[in-house]
Structure 1
Amino acid sequence: MLAGQIKPTAGEVVLCELDLPKTKISDESTAFMGYCCQDSPLWPDMTVKQHLEIYAAVKGMKKEDGDQVIRRVTEALELKEHLDKPARKLSAGVCRKVCFAISMLGNPTIVLLDEPSTGLDPKGQQRLWRAIRAAFRNKERGAILTTHYMEEAEAVCDRVAIMVSGKLRCIGSIQQLKSKFGKGYLLEIKVKDSNHLDEIHQEITRLFPQAARQDRFSSLLVYKIPMGSVQSLSQAFLQLEEAKRTYNIEEYSFSQSTLEQVFLELVKEQEKEDFDLDTSFRWKHLRTESI
């Protein structure tokens, strides 16, 4: 809807202080916008270079300016070796890089990024995330990015909105969401001697009476600790350091809920609400020939 591909069902959109009623979104009003769509828009028989040149021209860039920008973006995204390849011979990950490069041509003020790193390997994801951060850092432009990958949201987003069952459940900085919706801390302890597991468990339950053990392996203990059990982080770390020396603990980590865990908690709440709304079975009599 924001890109003007389909008509909005209701409401208005305000872009760059321009009030755009739902029936008046035009090519002129979206000229300052970049769009990296989820489905590949590439023509199968055209090369990567041809795509970039065409979109640079569509954005109104002069040829010499376009060539300079194309050279810079292909170096940043490691696309040089793919410039002369037709789109049909590109991997899914390279296609995503090309789509992102196209969306950034012409220095758009607003960029819509729909699942930008889908199909990329971990190294490619990291490089693309760095490119996204660099493109928007300290500049008069912004982006809306949609993703199911919480690590991607943490890596590139200043503010995060979580939608569950089509409804906006929360919006704020990552730290705000973790503080408000995170159910507690996660404590992971790796021990040198597995014979001391029971003693360490007793010590942890003494330090944090409401601690709930999640997993236990030969040398690893994992606990979920409610926020109410931790009055002071500095005191918690002091106690854990003392326990580390006393029980010969190899290492430990004490961390907040991840954004992934916050998302899962909100989904669980929604599922519980949906379940509570209707717990009855509905039976429908079928004719013999329909069975």
Structure 2
Amino acid sequence: RLSLGVALLTLPDVLLLDEPTTGVDPKASRIIWNILSKIRESDTALVLTSHSMEECDALCTQIAIMTNGEFRCLGSTQHIKSKYGSGYSLAIRLYTTNQIESAKELITKMFPNARLMDEHILHLNYELMIEKGQKWSMLFEKVGKLAELIDAADYSISQTTLDQIFLDFSRNARTDIVKSHF
């Protein structure tokens, strides 16, 4: 991180950073993020590369996602999530294994386009595809009712993350490579 310190001795107009917090512990990463945020506010343009979507979300006003050397998208975090996100993530924790099958059936019934992304012990993670224009309040109400009906121990709903979008782009790029070789 010495190179970052040297670069900051004078406030440049543009600061190019390649993976600025790779190999740094979480506490030090947050300190670096805070410093870089203050520098950005002082009219220094930051251009950074990173595999950490959390870092990009924290530091960037504009994000470009590249796979196989090609730009796949460009925009603000919210723009990318809205345009390329596939909906919302629903995480449900159950009390017993006896609830799993009935919970899956009810989720599929209430959200016909739901896709089970992960199942681990008492946790179910779904990707919810919702209709354009559906309001958050309606979605929360529906998920709350679902959680009540299946007697969920806990649940959360969140917008698709940048990590999920990045992984989707990466997965699709790998599929394209495999298809092009056959």
Q: Which has the higher strand share?
A: 2
Structure 1 pair 124–175 and aligned structure 2 pair: CA distance change class (3 A) = same
| 215-224 vs 164-173, greater mean Cα deviation | 215-224
Structure with larger Rg: 1
Residue in 1 that maps onto 2:86 = 183
1:15-65 CA distances to partner (integer Å, 9 max, x unpaired)? xxxxxxxxxxxxxxxxxxxxxxxxxxxxxxxxxxxxxxxxxxxxxxxxxxx
Structure 1 residue ranges without an equivalent (≥5):
1-95, 280-291
Q: Conserved in 2, the CA contact under 8 Å of 1:110 and 1:143?
A: yes
Give the CA deviation at 1:224: 1.8
Q: What is aligned with 2:64?
A: 161
**What's the secondary structure of 1:143's corresponding residue?**
strand
* Structure of higher RCO (CA pairs closer than 8 Å, 6+ residues apart): 2
Count of aligned residue pairs for this structure pair: 182
Correspondence 1:10-25 to 2 at 5 A: none
Look up the match of 1:116: 20
Pairing 1:81-230 to 2, within 5 Å after superposition: 96=1, 98-137=2-41, 139-228=42-131
Displacement of 1:227: 3.6
Residues 230 and 236 of structure 1 are in contact (CA less than 8 Å); yes or no, is this contact kept in structure 2? no
Q: Name the structure 1 match of 2:167.
A: 264
- Structure 2: how far apart are the matches of 1:182 and 1:235? 19
Q: How far apart, in 1, do the equivalents of 2:60 and 2:167 lie?
A: 19
| AA aligned opposite 2:121 | S
- The CA distance in 1 between the partners of 2:166 and 2:101, in whole Å, is 33
TM-score norm. by structure 2 comes to 0.89
Q: Which residue of 2 aligns with 1:73?
A: none
Is contact 1:187–1:255 with CA below 8 Å preserved after alignment?
yes
Question: What is the letter of the counterpart of residue 144 of structure 1?
Answer: V
1:154 partner SS: helix
Identity %: 33
Unaligned runs of 5+ in 2: none
Contact 1:208 1:230 (C-alpha < 8 Å) held by counterparts: no
